[in-house]
Amino acid sequence: MNKRLLSVSLLIVSCIIIFSQCISKRKEDLRGAQFAGSAACVSCHKSIYDNYVATGHYNTSSLASQSTVRGSFAGPDNIFSYSNGTKVIMEARDSGLYQAAYTDSALQQIHRFDIAIGSGRKAQTFLSWRDGKYFQLPLSYFISAHCWANSPGFPPSYPKYDRMIPSTCFGCHSSAVGTKSVGIEGTRLSEEFEKNQLVYGIDCERCHGPAAEHVAFHQDHPQEKNGMHITKIGGLKNQQKLDMCALCHSGLGTPQRPAFQFKPGDALSDYFFPDFTRPEKATEIDVHGKQFQLFTASKCFIKSANVMNCSSCHSPHNNERDQLTAFSRRCMSCHKTESHNFCKMTSLPAATLSENCIDCHMPALPSKNITMLTNGQASPTPDSIRTHLITIYKEETKKFLAKLTK
Ligand code: HEC
Ligand code: HEC
Ligand code: HEC
Ligand code: HEC
Ligand code: HEC
Ligand code: HEC
Ligand code: HEC
């Protein structure tokens, strides 16, 4: 063999070796090799991915930064005064964002914003990393009130810094968290986490299950048009479809297994202990996060013989917030104008009715669980959430009609 050819082939061989090492060194997903990560889905599911990045799911947790934290760091809106005289100021420094506590202008404590929880539809709360643990910061940002105020459940009298955040919180607001150890501290669970080991947001594989095999198969078989090595949600039973969402949308139950292990097709009852405190009347369930209980207590669900699920109205990859006319059209796929089960509010013109079924039948109601106190006083705008108990609300109808005539 001539020398030149030999050296060229050696070069090619070594390139292949180096290149294949690059590929095998691709950073493995925190959850293990059976997970591919959302970025791996873009090449084949681009339009789904592009829509999905605008959803609350994708943005529900993030590294805290000027671009992810919604509240103001400029005066005068960056100050919160506790009733004991302590002032906490939101400060943007070169080294990061901080909540700094002062009494009589003397700095007492300073805590960094490390992680933001909540996409900022209604509120955002923040976690600070300390000694291997995450602590919730005493002040959260409330979107509709446009203000910083004491985090839900925190006192308005003084800033409190010892609320440890458990992994269950990440189980509904992220896709993975690295835990180091679990212990007991006094009467409470004390979990230590691995620093910077988090998969932010609720990603594709939280809902679809591990997909590395699916990705590898389709990369090798670009001609295959049928999705392989992935759970077909269309083939699941209706209860299984509901359970995939109920995992996080049935409130704070007592977990039996970490929510992170859930895969589509699993049963909710394997993840939570049964909740015996469920009230007799659905109207007594707090609207916050209990969409599963409320929706399944509605006549639409009960009387339509187990065909309805969350996807009857929600398209899981899109942000369709405030598109009430689009949602109303989905109501009218069953409640047709001409049929006997259309709305009985015949005093309203049909066109007005059909634009917005939602404000009368799924009104936004204040949550009993969130009692926000602004500077020591009950907030003038308690957060409200769309109830998923679809029924007749006489009071809300009156309010809606009053707004129309204005
Ligand atoms: C190399 C191409 C490719 C990549 C990368 C890829 N997929 Fe797919 N996927 C396909 C094809 C082809 C189908 C079948 C056609 C369709 O439904 O779009 C499919 C279908 C699916 C389905 C529907 C299955 C069904 O029939 O109900 C899901 C869910 C899915 N993929 C999830 C993912 C996720 C999550 C990722 C990223 C972790 C991903 N895919 C990455 C090619 C790919
Ligand atoms: C892993 C937990 C988890 C699962 C599973 C989950 N959700 Fe969510 N969902 C959340 C959290 C947390 C929020 C609040 C997001 C935020 O920070 O704004 C949310 C918000 C939403 C919203 C409002 C978001 C917006 O952008 O306006 C809708 C609608 C919703 N979920 C529907 C669903 C449906 C339908 C399913 C099942 C297909 C589902 N969710 C599964 C945790 C989850
Ligand atoms: C069982 C699942 C679950 C757990 C556990 C959970 N959340 Fe949530 N959280 C949700 C859901 C679902 C929503 C959306 C509620 C709605 O719109 O009805 C939400 C909403 C929020 C919001 C408002 C988001 C926004 O954009 O408006 C914040 C902030 C929040 N949660 C913080 C936390 C913190 C902090 C913890 C842990 C201490 C926690 N949550 C534990 C499911 C959960
Ligand atoms: C909140 C849960 C959730 C998340 C997050 C999610 N999906 Fe889905 N996905 C679903 C559900 C539910 C269906 C079935 C929809 C239906 O029955 O109409 C679905 C259907 C699909 C399908 C097949 C049907 C279609 O629309 O083409 C594909 C492909 C898919 N998802 C890919 C993805 C990818 C890629 C991501 C991340 C960018 C993702 N999904 C994120 C819940 C989710
Ligand atoms: C899959 C079909 C379906 C969809 C979609 C649907 N419903 Fe229904 N709905 C029903 C059925 C079936 C009943 C029971 C009617 C009966 O008792 O004969 C019902 C009952 C109702 C009732 C009477 C409830 C009561 O407590 O008396 C209202 C109000 C209602 N639906 C409003 C809505 C609204 C608003 C939407 C959209 C947000 C909607 N429905 C979507 C099937 C549906
Ligand atoms: C009959 C239609 C319908 C069904 C079924 C349905 N939703 Fe909704 N959902 C809505 C409408 C309408 C809104 C209000 C949208 C808005 O105001 O932007 C909403 C809003 C939400 C929100 C945001 C609530 C808020 O105010 O912060 C969440 C979370 C949610 N739905 C989850 C679910 C889950 C989980 C299921 C299944 C258990 C489900 N939904 C089933 C119609 C429906
Ligand atoms: C202005 C508020 C308002 C709007 C908008 C509205 N409804 Fe109603 N709806 C009511 C009230 C109030 C009743 C009870 C009327 C009665 O029984 O006299 C009712 C009754 C109903 C019923 C029960 C009918 C029965 O068989 O007893 C259904 C179903 C319904 N509405 C569906 C819808 C749908 C679908 C839309 C959107 C196309 C809609 N409504 C829009 C206020 C409203």
Reference 198, options 163, 173, 161, 164; nearest CA is 173
Long-range contacts of 137-145 (CB under 8 A, 24+ apart): 137/99, 137/111, 137/113, 137/161, 138/88, 138/99, 139/80, 139/88, 139/90, 139/99, 141/69, 141/70, 141/71, 142/372, 142/379, 142/383, 143/70, 144/381, 144/383, 145/372, 145/374, 145/379, 145/380, 145/381
Q: Which residues line ligand 4 (CB under 6 A)?
A: 38, 41, 45, 48-49, 52, 57, 202, 204, 206-208, 233-234, 311, 316-317
Q: Are 84 and 157 in contact (CB under 8 A)?
A: yes
Which residue's CA is the nearest one to ligand 7's atom 32? 343
301: number of Cβ within 10 Å: 20
* pLDDT for residue 6: 53
* pLDDT for residue 352: 82
**How many Cα neighbours within 13 Å face the side chain of 121?**
17
User: Which residue in the block uniquely carries the two structure tokens 């002032």?
Assistant: 87
Confidence label for 347 from pLDDT (cuts 50, 70 and 90): confident
- Evaluate: CB of 334 within 6 angstroms of ligand 5: yes
- Evaluate: CB of 324 within 6 angstroms of ligand 7: no
Mean pLDDT over 257-285 rounds to 84
Q: What percent of the chain has pLDDT over 90?
A: 67
Question: For a substitution probing ligand 3, which of 57, 62, 70, 117 has the most ligand atoms within 8 Å of its CB?
Answer: 117
Letter string b/e over residues 332-359, b meaning 16 or more CB atoms within 10 A of that residue's CB: eeebeeeeeebbeeeeeeeeebbebbbb
* pLDDT for residue 380: 39
Q: What percent of the chain has pLDDT over 70?
A: 88
111: number of Cβ within 10 Å: 21
Residue type, 218: H
Which distant-in-sequence residues (6+ apart) come within 8 Å of 266 by Cβ?
Answer: 240, 243
Q: Could you give the CA distance from residue 141 to residue 120 in angstroms, rounded to a whole number?
A: 8
- Evaluate: CB of 308 within 6 angstroms of ligand 6: yes
pLDDT in tens, 353-399: 888 999 999 999 887 665 454 444 544 355 788 999 999 999 999 99
- Cis omega (within 30 of 0) on the bond before 76? yes
Q: In this predicted structure, which of 29-33, 224-228, 235-239, 374-378 has the lowest mean pLDDT?
A: 374-378
Q: In this predicted structure, which of 73-77, 124-128, 139-143, 251-255 has the lowest mean pLDDT?
A: 251-255
pLDDT in tens, 200-211: 999 999 999 999
Mean pLDDT over 10-17 rounds to 49
Q: Write out the two tokens for 51.
A: 């829509």
How many A from CA of 203 to the centre of ligand 1? 14
